[in-house]
Chains A and B, each alone.
Chain A
Amino acid sequence: MSTPTLSSTTTADVEELARLARWVRATSLRVIVAAATGHPAAELSAADILSVLYGAVLNVNAEEPHAPGRDRFVCSKSHASAALYSVLCARGFLGEDELFSYGQAGSRLCTAVSNRLPGVEFSTGALGHGLPFATGCAIAAKLDRSPRRVIVMTGDGELQEGSNWEAAMLAASRGLDNLTLVIDRNRVQKGASTEEINALEPLREKWGAFGWATRDVDGHDHRALLDVFNATPFESGRPSCVIAATVKGRGVSFMENQLEWHGKRLEPRELQLALAQIEAGG
């Protein structure tokens, strides 16, 4: 698969997004295998959300990565770093050669998301930091009276960090309707399901109780993701929360919902099998 060309943020159609997502899936797996590291199932879980955001939602431009009016995307789900860098590559923020420097000596591409790369707003890796930061970004946009949007993606397990709920209260309290949280809700964290370890449910009700306008979406359905992001803010005066139902390891049959693929390295034969499944439309 060659790098998809995306010149505009607003014109990508659903077929283009599907192509982009396949490329992001395949590329992120190739990148982490080359680096002999990574979190393959998390990359696949978030690949569609990232592809829709960068393919058709976010107003960002590689030529001007620090443009004041750009939308801010905060990738708190740091385990999806290779998918983020891949989609940034598709948007021209870095070349494919550099993409494969991921985790290598002297690279700008930290295996936890790092803002050493222009286009990445914020370094994450310590969980529960993205939403507070994004809340600050959204307050700043309000102070600037700017229409720019702030979108933050978290994993679901990381919602167990209390700092998220501090920010959740503040964002609602200040009526930050320029802030959208998308939760990659694959229901699996490192050791077990989120519900077994420290239950998040009823998640939608929790966000509602915290004052957020909340919608559920299929986190692998590009059309539905596009529609939900285009529908933000869901309510004027309230921050928006998108609970994206996802499958950890999505698109590769032997990884889907398998705990061991949280941080397991793919053998060459497994990578070939995975790439074939992704190419076939996973």
Chain B
Amino acid sequence: MSVAELFDCAEHFSAELLRLAGEDERICVVINDSAETHHATAFQQQLPERIIDVGIAEQNMVGVAAGLANAGRIPFVHSAACFLTARALEQIKADVAYCSSNVKLCGFVSGLAYGALGGTHHALEDIAWMRAIPNLRVIAPATANESRAAVRAMAACEDPVFVRVISKTLVPELFAENVEFRFGEATLLRAGGDVTLIGTGLTSTRLVDAAECLSRQGIDAGVLHIGSIAPLDSDAIAAHAALTGRLVVAEEHVTNGGLAGAVSEVVVRTHPVPLLSLGVPNVFAPIGPTDWLHEHFGLTAERLAGAVAAWMDEPADGDA
């Protein structure tokens, strides 16, 4: 593995939001306590009037945000992804998406980032829940620069958005500082003819490293990053299914209903190909720190490469 400089996406996300809020007084932040966890402390210090702390009350948090949006404010709801999406699911559906409220739902400490706090704190079902809701954009940027770009794109669009923010685990940078985030567009991070590895959020940078490992084993793997899960770049997915004939989806999420589900829905109606789904099988995680859990569920670059190589050795269904 190359020794790349690593960055904190959550920190960059929040810094960009604070910068943007300095230019646009409509931007405000709604939090449920825990400003520090969500990197909102600087916002709290610099723009105290525009941070609304509702306390530990996620349903109210999302309803309040919809009320703020009714007055033309652009509320960014900062919360742990697990509590935001599960506790306030009906508010997200009814108050935000159904009412077309211009609310930006920011799920921090996503995936397995809460580590040993366990199943109550892991957000591993959020992509499935969020992408089932109509009129809600669902995004998962992969790096610090893309997280900053996502903030700008969210503020510029008037639709409800849920963003999964990578927290606590540092990631390498793949994008230029001025990268633009485009809803509904996938990003090809690496071209490859044998198989396409598809990731979102945390897994995308890891798949880039995995592809490097695979190339040393003679497997030419492409990497497609799905920063925008809804709307989804179905054309890019179908094109890569046609190009490589095999797809691998890796996600820090349960393997039912998330990105693998979304990709499968596309390929079965466009270009059916064998698909390997890597992530958390439909189980609650054992107890352990995040790095160990990533290892346990095969979400490190080496483990991902190993799983792909083993699968590539098997004959694809339909090969004769």
Contacts and interface: CB of A to CB of B under 8 A. Distances in A.
A36 interface: no
B95 interface: yes
Contact of B68 (A121, A128, A140, A162): A140
A271 B95 CA distance: 35
Interface string B54-84: 1101011011111111111101000000000
Interface centre among A123, A129, A137 (most CB of B within 10 A): A129
A135 interface: yes
Interface residues of B, number: 28
Nearest to A152: B67
Contacts of A139: 52, 64, 67-68
A140 B72 CA distance: 9
Nearest to B53: A170
Interface of A: 68, 72, 115, 121-123, 125-126, 128-129, 131-141, 143-144, 162-163, 166-167, 169-170, 173
A169 B75 CA distance: 20
A66 to B, nearest CB: 9
Contact of A122 (B65, B68, B70, B72): B70
B94 interface: yes
Interface of B: 28, 49-50, 52, 54-55, 57, 59-60, 62-73, 75, 90-91, 94-95, 98-99
A144 B71 contact: yes
Nearest to A174: B52
B60 A166 contact: yes
Contacts of A138: 67
A121 B71 CA distance: 10
A3 B65 CA distance: 37
Contacts of A123: 94, 98-99
Among B50, B54, B73: residue with most chain A CB under 10 A: B54
A133 B69 CA distance: 10
B282 to A, nearest CB: 28
B49 A166 contact: no
B23 to A, nearest CB: 17
B73 A143 contact: yes
A129 B52 CA distance: 18
A174 B40 CA distance: 20
A132 B55 contact: no
